Amino acid sequence: MTDTILHHVAHSRSFRILWLLKEMGLNPQIKPYKIMDGSLRTPEFLAISPGGRVPALEIDGKTLFESAAITDYLVESRAEHGLGRPAGHAERQEYLEWTNFAETMASRIEALNLSWIFLRDPAMRSDTVCKIEARRLAAAIEALELHLAGRDYILASGFSAADTMMGFNLISAPYYVHLDPFPRVQAYVARISARPAFLAARADDGPQEFYTKDFYEVDRD
């Protein structure tokens, strides 16, 4: 059997796949990259992930990119773990909505990361864009707060890959949005963070190197 290799940046969307693999009892070999050092733009890596993005996963003799696609591949090829919801399942629609909504939320974090962390010159940052994106991220978290009423996980029947897709967001979102007004989301974060597979994934994730402050906000109105 070929090795399972996860092309990974610590504290990034590739955590979704690391965590999902751990939930399935799989321990990938981790190939680490950094966002700013050019390692995601080499011809070798672009042959693996054409957009130069992580995650990418080598598994079963295939190479896959895009976290939602990798997630679907894993839950379908390893259906015995019950972490997906196949076509025809009563929760299929909700499963699709929330795995994709995780990416809607993540794109707000990506925009904030670009503004606060990855612009080489802070003078290029727009306070207006930062404020709008933080509000849009808060609105996405509010949607999750409402959805979690009466549930422990995103799907009423229990833990699924919709949670591994969403989980990464909630590690990063608190750098931009305070979670105090969202008690169900806070309880959800505590619940997912206590899962043994989540803890094992965090142990292998590597130290985050993006954030140098606990919270980023525009200090002028």
Ligand X SMILES: N[C@@H](CCC(=O)N[C@@H](CS)C(=O)NCC(=O)O)C(=O)O
One of 20, 48, 54, 57 touching ligand X (CB under 6 A):
54
Identify which of residues 67 and 115 has a Cβ nearer to ligand X in the complex.
67
Q: Which residue has the tokens 């009563």?
A: 90
Q: Which of 6, 9, 105, 177 binds ligand X (CB under 6 A)?
A: 9
Region of 147 on the Ramachandran plot (φ > 0 left; ψ -120 to 50 alpha; else beta): alpha
Q: Among candidates 19, 20, 51, which has minimal Cα distance to 35?
A: 51
Q: How far is the CB of 88 from ligand X (least distance, A)?
A: 26
Nearest-approach distance from CB 165 to ligand X, in angstroms: 8
When binding is defined by CB under 6 A, the residue of 7, 45, 67, 91 that contacts ligand X is 67
Single residue of 8, 22, 53, 85 touching ligand X by CB under 6 A: 53
Distance separating the N- and C-terminal Cα atoms of the chain:
58
Helix axes 161-172, 183-193, angle to 10 degrees: 110
Q: How many helices (H) and strands (E) does the chain have?
A: 8, 4
Q: Which is nearer to ligand X, 67 or 160 (CB)?
A: 67
Does position 85 interact with ligand X (CB under 6 A)? The reply is no
Convert residues 13-52 into a mask of x (bound to ligand X by CB under 6 A) and - (unbound).
x---------------------x----x-----------x
Stretch binding ligand X (CB under 6 A), from 65-73, 90-98, 126-134, 135-143:
65-73
Q: How far apart are CA 62 and CA 60, in angstroms?
A: 5
CA atoms of 23 and 19, how far apart (whole Å) = 6
Out of 55, 64, 116, 197, name the contact with ligand X by CB under 6 A.
55
> Can you list the pairs that 41-45 forms with residues at least 24 positions away whose Cβ atoms lie under 8 Å?
45/7
Are 39 and 32 in contact by the 8 Å Cβ rule? The answer is no
**In this complex, which beta carbon is closest to ligand X, that of residue 150 or of residue 207?**
207
Closer to ligand X by CB, 157 or 210: give it: 210
Number of CB atoms found within 10 A of residue 71's CB: 25
**Interaction between residue 12 and ligand X (CB under 6 A):** yes
Which residues form the interface with ligand X (CB under 6 A)?
A: 9, 12-13, 35, 40, 52-55, 66-68, 103
